[in-house]
Amino acid sequence: MNKRFDRNNAFAINIADNSTDTGDSIQYLMNLQGSLYAFADNSISKVLPAGSIDPENLHPDTRHSYQKIYSIGCKNSYVARSIIQSKQVLDSIILNKNVKKQNILDHAWCCSEMLFNCEAAHYKIYNDVMKLMPECDTIIEKGKKETVIPTLPQVEDLEGKVAIFLGNAKRFLEKTHEFLSIFYMTPNTGSNFKAYREWVEKNMPEKRDLIKMLEDDKDWIKQIASLRNAHEINHAEPQFDVKIVNFKLYPENKFANPGWRYDFSGKQGPVQAEFSDIVTDMNVYLSNLLTFFEELLIFCIMDNSDKNYNFKIYKQLPENIRESCPTIYFVSFNK
């Protein structure tokens, strides 16, 4: 006999993909920005209790639900090393009283979502390129036997995907720099990353490691900001633009993968002589973004931890990094 449904009772939920109807093992549940999220091996879902769907309880029969929001989960290094690692580190320490853990975690989630968007844009371009390269080879080889080589296939909406990557990357850097405001009360200078560095150098000269990190990363950070601003849909102008090419036929019946080339000379910046591979460059930028986020946040957390407890940050040995959730930093008492 079925029990009468009461949405105020405790409930169990099995996160599953409707297309396959298979469960995805949940590793973490987190309260982020006022909502509950389930982090599974290969997905992230937002849990929707009946009260969030029908807050006024006008329809008591309303069931609980969940909404899958990302098709990546704890097994993905960007998920593991951003929001999961942030949660693990925060749970392992005692912070100074003026710093609220939930505020930090909520902000880390804001940054993480932008990083996921960058990773998704990069993957879509990469996936299309890998599928189309053999087609280009086939078309050119057949065309060599004729007098004309037909049109080459193109990565669909390449400009749009690049715009998504660059827009989220710059915004990610802005939000990540805001950790300096949260922990050290620096002014929020938005995309003026140089102003953050100068404020820290002037007002906290004793923070040598932090100053060095910001200085070491300044060039590639400026590069991403310039690429975003110089993109055609944003603030491109003569001698401050980014040229993007799709699959293209070159002399000797050869083709090249999608590439880009920048000219920042109009604002006293560098000029790229030759086109470079978009997929390769984006991969490097993604790695830099992730590393900058985790190093800056961990530095801020440890610098604002309760010094009555001898906490120390450690890096996992390669053999100890778990495939199910490849975080690389952890906190423990100083041995």
In angstroms, the CA 153 to CA 248 distance is 9
In angstroms, the CA 104 to CA 311 distance is 18
Whether the per-residue pLDDT at 279 is higher than 90: the answer is yes
Tell me what the mean pLDDT of segment 256-279 comes to. 95
Q: Which two tokens stand for residue 106?
A: 């909520």
Closest by CA to 333, choosing from 310, 316, 317, is 310
Q: Is the pTM of this model over 0.85?
A: yes
In angstroms, the CA 289 to CA 169 distance is 8
Residue 1: predicted pLDDT? 43
Whether the per-residue pLDDT at 326 is higher than 80: the answer is yes
Query: For 48-101, what is the HEC assignment?
Result: ECHHHHCCCCCCCCCCCEEEEEECCCCCCHHHHHHHHHHHHHHHCCCECCCCCH
Residue type for position 135: E
Three-state DSSP at 4 gives: coil
Do residues 71 and 82 lie in contact, with contact meaning Cβ atoms separated by under 8 Å? Answer: no
Q: Percent of the chain beyond pLDDT 70?
A: 88
- DSSP 8-state assignment for residue 235: T
Closest by CA to 253, choosing from 154, 153, 139, is 139
* Choice among 46-60, 120-134, 137-151, 154-168 with the minimum mean pLDDT: 46-60
Tell me what the mean pLDDT of segment 210-222 comes to. 97
